[in-house]
Copies of this chain bind each other. A is one copy, B any other.
Amino acid sequence: MAMPKGPQAFPRSEYLRRLSVVKAEMERREIGVLIVTVSPNITYLTGYTARSGYVPQGLIVSLKNEEPTFVVRRCDAPSAIYEMFIDRNRIIGYPETLIGNPEMDGFDAVIDFLHDNGLASGGVGLETKFLAQQSVEKFKIRMPQATIRDFSGCITWTRLIKSDLEIVVMKEAAAIADAGILRAKEVIRPGVREADAAAEIIATLVRGVNGKPGTDVSDFHLCASPLSATPHTRWSEDVLHQGSQVNFEFGAVRYGYVSALSRTFMIGKPSERLRRVHEGEVAGMEAALAAVRPGVTCGDIATAFNTTIKKHGFEKETRCGYSIGIDWLEPTASIKEGDPTVLQPNMTFHLLLNNWIDEDFGYALSETFRVTETGAEVFTTLPREIFVM
């Protein structure tokens, strides 16, 4: 039987709107055909979230056609039919002979499609920055009539300003992240294994809230003493104990969109040092959010934070956040001093104030927010406190 279309995260008009922005940029750059290979960009333009991007695949956007065409490993075509808004005839499955084959891969199927459809000449856009050198070479060698133009980053920058529909989805994800911290309040106890606490919280992030499940597992970090200053470890095999500090940074997901959140937990009385850092960081968070409005730059937000915590006697070396959306971090605007990105309504950021102060001492506080017409709207409803157990 034929695969039905699944429930779509967004209406067709939303995807066509996104495509129209990309196509306008293609025209401006004299690119008739664009080959999109970066997975979150494929999600953005079509709704596809299946994890097939570890082998080559390409979404082909042509100025000649309203809908793009997706060339994907054949066994993944049913997921594409189910998830993507495009007509099933625009999903081309390539054969398994291109997998684990040292001579050819899925990009050969993409190139074949372009040749077969008279699209392998003129200006052809490619996200070269994120492709292996040999893949870029393959496109150049096999399409000698085409002028390959780098389109790296262009769609990613388009993703920077969200539609109201995207904001709804990110808020759904944020409500799930909140539930994760609330679950942590129930399970972070002396004598509990870190893994058992992680299991409960991750399960909450999958179950979701308000009848809306998480649709994927995102990055998850439970960093307990002595690892409170390690941003990228998962959890250890230790047991929590009186005096353990536990820093969380995790995300919740709806349709590929992530809302991220960080909070600090303490089993037992927080030290004077931790209290002082906390006070400085909360003041810094408030100052940063107060600085947000259309027209100021990402750098201005960072300056507001850094100036404030300096008054409290601290510094933070790492940047204060970044644009967030599909698959967490969008590699575009950074909330760091000097970043010239000018804020506009519906940009969304992970204001990541986590501060890895010493090798064995760090502090976690982060929130996901959107820029409004007049300021910032924070997605979490949680208090900014050290959760003392």
Contacts and interface: CB of A to CB of B under 8 A. Distances in A.
Q: How many copies does the complex hold?
A: 2
Interface centre among A82, A214, A230, A231 (most CB of B within 10 A): A230
Nearest to A200: B203
Interface string A4-29: 10110000000000000000000000
A164 interface: no
Nearest to A83: B233
A272 interface: no
Given A129-B134, A131-B133, A133-B136, A233 B195 contact: no
Interface residues of A, number: 78
Interface centre among A207, A231, A233, A336 (most CB of B within 10 A): A233
Contacts of A49: 233-234
A359 B231 contact: no
A133 B131 CA distance: 7
Contact of A100 (B128, B132, B322): B322
Contacts of A234: 49, 51, 215-217
Interface of A: 1-4, 6-7, 49-52, 54, 74-79, 81-83, 95-96, 99-100, 128-134, 136, 193-196, 198-200, 202-204, 206-208, 212-217, 219-220, 226-227, 229-237, 317-319, 322, 329, 331, 334, 336, 339, 356, 358-361
22 contacts: A1-B226, A1-B359, A1-B360, A1-B361, A2-B360, A7-B237, A52-B232, A76-B230, A78-B230, A78-B359, A82-B227, A83-B233, A95-B317, A96-B319, A99-B318, A99-B334, A129-B133, A133-B133, A195-B207, A195-B215, A216-B234, A217-B217
